[in-house]
Chain A
Amino acid sequence: MSLADTLQEPGAPVPGAPARPAAALRPRRNDFLYYGLRNKKLVFGLGLEILLVILAIIGPSISPHNTTDYFKLNASPTGANWLGTDFQGHDVFAQLVNGLRESYLVGALGAVSAAIVGMVLGFIAGWRGGILDEILQLLTNVIVMIPSLVLLVVVGAYLNTRSVLFEGVFIGLTTWPWVARAVRAQTFSLRSREFVDLARLSGKRPTSIVIRDIAPNMASYLFLVVILLFGSSMLLAASYDFLGLGPSGVVSLGGMMQNANLNSALFFKEWWWFFPPGLVLTAMVASLLVANVGLDEVFNPKLRES
């Protein structure tokens, strides 16, 4: 919810008025690298994120136990079980690193599918305008109105098992309106510029104009949107998992919190069970957000700190 708020006003802070054709004044790649390496926010955010990704990749193999091994029930952290055990005697650290992996997967799936749907519909609506635009706008508003959580329950009831793929794509299919609105607004303002007129006069086909002339002008903006979507998808997935609507048979960070909540971990003061998963998820999303601000400054010279 909160991340979507930052997404919905594209016109305002980000785009940096990309008025010229992309090729004419594009800075060399090295420029981005130069400013990128000197941007503390980007280096910090990206560094932390890379550490977490590495943990997600190699974590399951450095963890001394599997998620299915049994130990003493509800044990607090010890040398053998680094983060203690849960109510079934499963190792919490093993669950944590596996859940980390699942979160990244769902986040990536959600971001990619939302970006694809949102960009296609946004480009169509912004480029064609007219009645098609009206219909797509109406569709967008209706999608925003339907509570996605309820939809998830209904669709989920049809499937015997829900997969990670299902959760990711579902999140994407309910969050695309933010992307579509932003892309539509930008396409709208770009399509009447001279260089687009020129491309049209030269007889290029609309799809090629959109891909070659319009999209590059918002490439940096789209990149930032995808990063934000990545973070918000992970948060949404945590909420779904917490309500027990996540993928079945998969260890997830939200699922760990759900188990802790259902089994009175609060009451018995078993903090090691629910504190780490949320902390790690916060770090994952926060470093993305910080890296995002850094990237914004790199792409957009106006925002660079002097």
Chain B
Amino acid sequence: MRRFLSRKLITYLIAFVIGVTVDWGIPRLIPGDPVQAYLSQFRLQPAGYDALYKTMSEAFGTNGSAWDQYMHYWQSILTWNMGVSIGNFPARVTTLIGQALPYTLALLIPAIVLSYILGNRLGAAAARRKGLDNSVLPLGYVFQAMPYPWLALIIPYLLAVVWHVFPLSGGYSNSLLPTWSWTFIGSLLTHWFLPFLTVFLVSLGGWAIGMRNLVIYELENDSSRYLRALGARERVIRRYAYRNASLPQLSGLALQLGVVVGGNIVTEIAFQYPGLGKLLYTAIGNKDYFLLQGIFIFIIIGVLIANFVIDLVFISIDPRTRLSMQGAPA
């Protein structure tokens, strides 16, 4: 157990170091000088420009050698000091992320978890009943084949423009300010529903089809045949098949949940939803080094934590993992 965990931890640590290094390097590969881009917004006299440029470079830490910047970067990560956004100047990066994060999490976690649960149920049911299978399977393929941007256009078109059931885009109504009032919460909910629905639908088909195929495969397995030969009831056999089939689905869920932290850029752009994905998209446009890096670190930590949690879950639900940890052949 300890050997297994320490091995895993070392892998995650290496991945973290690589991730942080890539994170540090990528924004610096974007051509152009961020301080220059920022200052070009203002009309400055040449002398004032030079002085300001020098001060700003020092403030942002973009002067100094690459190595100095890299070390400085590690220091700021370990002290959780992500610096100041260049694009939205006085705002701190952590504040901006903190503002965007609740929107992203509230949107994506329910969508992914609900589609996982419902999709798996649907898929398992389809594997059981031929009649249901004939409708679930084609429908699942169609949902899987839909380009997401299209879904994010036709659903709001029908529900917002033609039938006026939900608002078209945004995180809350333009006429409101964020406060803890019932009108504001109501506005949040109605704006939340359409992006939620599209993400939910687009991932539903994949889970359902995956589960259906896995259950059918498990039902043909030797273990199922053995159970059948022992005279177990079909319900029991199916339950074991479902449990075995859940393992690969679960590791798929881990990946999805990890990506959640970065926000779904396409969703948030299509719906103008004020989450991390939109923040990331605008940060790229503004060449906002620090904001970009802050969001990246969030994504990396999120993916690593999600993977680690799933590792632990696997240890508790899959006996083979425990066996392989004790050095026995899996």
Contacts and interface: CB of A to CB of B under 8 A. Distances in A.
Interface residues on B, range: 35 or more
Q: A-B pairs with the 7 shortest C-beta distances?
A: A278-B150, A2-B206, A285-B145, A286-B145, A242-B149, A238-B147, A9-B248
Interface residues on A, range: 35 or more
B14 A278 contact: no
Interface stretch (A68-76, A147-155, A213-221): A147-155
Nearest to B146: A282
Contact of B153 (A2, A3, A261): A261
A39 to B, nearest CB: 14
A203 interface: no
Interface in B201-258: 202-203, 205-207, 209-210, 213-214, 216-217, 220, 248, 251-252, 255-256, 258
B319 interface: no
A285 B27 CA distance: 34
Contacts of B214: 9, 12-13
Interface in B132-186: 138, 141-142, 144-151, 153-154, 156-157, 160-162, 168
Interface stretch (B54-62, B77-85, B265-273): B265-273
Given A235-B148, A285-B145, A271 B157 contact: yes
30 contacts: A6-B206, A6-B213, A9-B252, A12-B214, A13-B214, A138-B15, A141-B11, A144-B255, A147-B262, A147-B299, A149-B265, A154-B27, A154-B30, A158-B31, A235-B145, A235-B147, A238-B149, A253-B147, A257-B153, A266-B153, A267-B168, A274-B157, A275-B154, A278-B147, A278-B149, A278-B153, A281-B145, A282-B145, A285-B144, A289-B141
Contacts of B270: 242, 261
A141 B147 contact: no
Interface of A is mostly: helix
Interface of A: 1-3, 5-6, 8-9, 12-13, 138, 141-142, 144-147, 149-151, 153-154, 157-158, 231, 235, 238-239, 242-243, 253-254, 257-258, 260-261, 266-267, 269, 271, 274-275, 277-279, 281-286, 288-290, 302
